[in-house]
Copies of this chain bind each other. A is one copy, B any other.
């Protein structure tokens, strides 16, 4: 846990600010200054062209390419999908008298970039000192619209400081972009041209034949004479702007990107729909677009802000997290999911993992329940792929993929894709958790129950009976702890599968009684048999959950307690990350764990374990955990808060909100740790706020970190927006809107309404 911050950016409550240009940090900043609107995302790269090191990333959710893999074993995937780097729709080239602006070569000063969390815009400004002594101030502002998914906006302003003259501009759309991992461009041009004021191009991916339409129209402070430039995979317009000393001039590029990612179109359809969207967007004033964006974000902050007094760094950090979570996903598109790096980089290939249900879903459930439902809808939509995958691995029902962009398994390491069985349990947990906290039975009956049946089928066919133990469980698996590669009876998987069976049975029983029509539909659609219900009950009842009766410590898997011991503190710091410095096979033969596994289910089904059990397991596993996953520390922090270890809780929290801002893992250059960002939110709300959402009613056990004066967070619960404000002496709970609701605070049931309820800060809850 020897993580060290790389402090660089300016601390500000509502913005991320970089002053000065550091080429060494450029890729890291490109990740941090990413913009996105769930539909598309764009890294904070220099749109005017940059000949230094840069990852010019432009991504569209769900838009993917296929890579074939040489493999001849059955059950191991033969091809995978990955998020493809797409059109550079910000393409701009700026020259004065033939000298071109390029931060790697040009002389510049007063460079500032700023991501404004309230307006949802990214702005760069600089003064360009030309070779002939001219100084030109340039300001770039961009946004991707949160209200119109397909709309991107770029505004470039010029102010000549010591001259009057002209600037030459090429504004374009460039599909010749290289996918970095593959080292090639995956696009071929289908069509390009102009219609009215719109300049457009459409291209197609090589293997998946996904089409993407991209277009722009220009607005400007002065009339523009456009000259079309076209070459392979590129279309643009050249124009010249006349500048007067001390006066500002600008042009705005309104971009419409329209892809196949939600539904397949013929190229012809896509082209004409794209042009229609472009035509209507061209009617908008850029000022109105900026205003709409600010209004959207205002509403978000009204609902979802976390306020921390006395800790400006974490204040900035948590707002950055919330901002990025909304940028990555807010549920407008049920066909999308959340890649491990969102739409900010190519590492992890844009794939969604079990992180979605285990780490991200609570944020959406309690801020934007519609988005939470959309995430579950994605799993419903991809149920056919999961059922195909189950067949592929000789099982029945639905085997959800460990990594996916379109519902098909896309992890090319068989040891992960064939052994990590816990995605299905994460989804059934997600359904349970979502329905419990939102009361959305409609979803449960129309989609959830069907998924539960197919998930249970998978777990009923993948499992086996131990010959000596006579118990049911899973052999040849990898649990969440990826440092135990292929084991039998991983306690997490066994317990989660047991819960999954039980919830399925409960759901079906309740539906049969209370909603017989819905039940009949599910039963018919899935061909459900009575014997299956008996079978699942039997397997759940006889699931092997190994626990040491004396210590109360769960055994992570069969034989874990005999695994050779290593004192993790004896490992030299230089050997981290172990994945890079240890022989691959060596990682897997110690009692060392990568991330919470037993502790993870103690977090998820928190109410079912005594404090003693939590303490015993925390002490045992925390001392063996090296946190070689960015998802790990927050779970430890939450449990540490609960069992009365506030200092450890804070220590695990320390880099949660600023993991990327301070580049703790030194790999932010590859993209943001988007799903970890969700864990940072949980760390505050479930950790310090002590919220628990796995019981009959939502409950809180707030604590206040020693270094903070006060903090507040908000959660949406059964239609009521609750604000929980914690200061050094008290906790105030208020229903901001939606009426009143019953919750539990420090073990006592209370009704919270608009007038608010104040309680003393819980005993022992003030950290030393």
Contacts and interface: CB of A to CB of B under 8 A. Distances in A.
Interface of A: 73-76, 392-394, 414-415, 418-419, 464-469, 475-476, 485-486, 488, 558-559, 561-565, 579-586, 588-591
A561 B468 contact: yes
A572 to B, nearest CB: 13
A117 B585 CA distance: 47
Contact of A558 (B465, B559, B585): B559
A73 B584 contact: yes
29 contacts: A73-B579, A73-B584, A74-B580, A74-B582, A74-B583, A75-B582, A75-B585, A393-B583, A393-B585, A393-B586, A394-B583, A394-B586, A414-B585, A418-B583, A418-B584, A419-B585, A465-B564, A466-B562, A466-B563, A467-B562, A467-B565, A469-B562, A475-B563, A475-B564, A488-B559, A488-B563, A488-B589, A558-B562, A559-B559
Contact of A486 (B418, B486, B591): B486
Contacts of A590: 464
Contact of A586 (B75, B561, B564): B75
Contact of A485 (B469, B486, B586, B591): B486
Contact of A589 (B75, B464, B591): B464
A583 B469 CA distance: 25
A582 to B, nearest CB: 6
Contacts of A486: 485-486, 588
A512 to B, nearest CB: 32
B467 A588 contact: no
A394 B588 CA distance: 13
Contacts of A415: 415
Contacts of A392: 583
Interface centre among A486, A579, A591 (most CB of B within 10 A): A486
Contacts of A465: 564
Given A559-B558, A584-B418, A586-B394, A564 B73 contact: no
Contacts of A74: 580-584
Given A485-B476, A562-B469, A563-B475, A76 B589 contact: no
Contacts of A564: 464-467, 475
Contacts of A562: 466-469, 488, 558
Nearest to A580: B74
Nearest to A421: B585
A765 B338 CA distance: 71
Contacts of A559: 488, 558-559
Q: Which of A74, A464, A561 has the most CB of B within 10 A?
A: A74
A414 B75 contact: no
Nearest to A563: B467
Contacts of A579: 73
Contact of A467 (B75, B585, B586, B591): B591
A75 B584 contact: yes
B394 A75 contact: no
Given A76-B584, A558-B559, A475 B418 contact: no
Nearest to A485: B486
A458 to B, nearest CB: 13
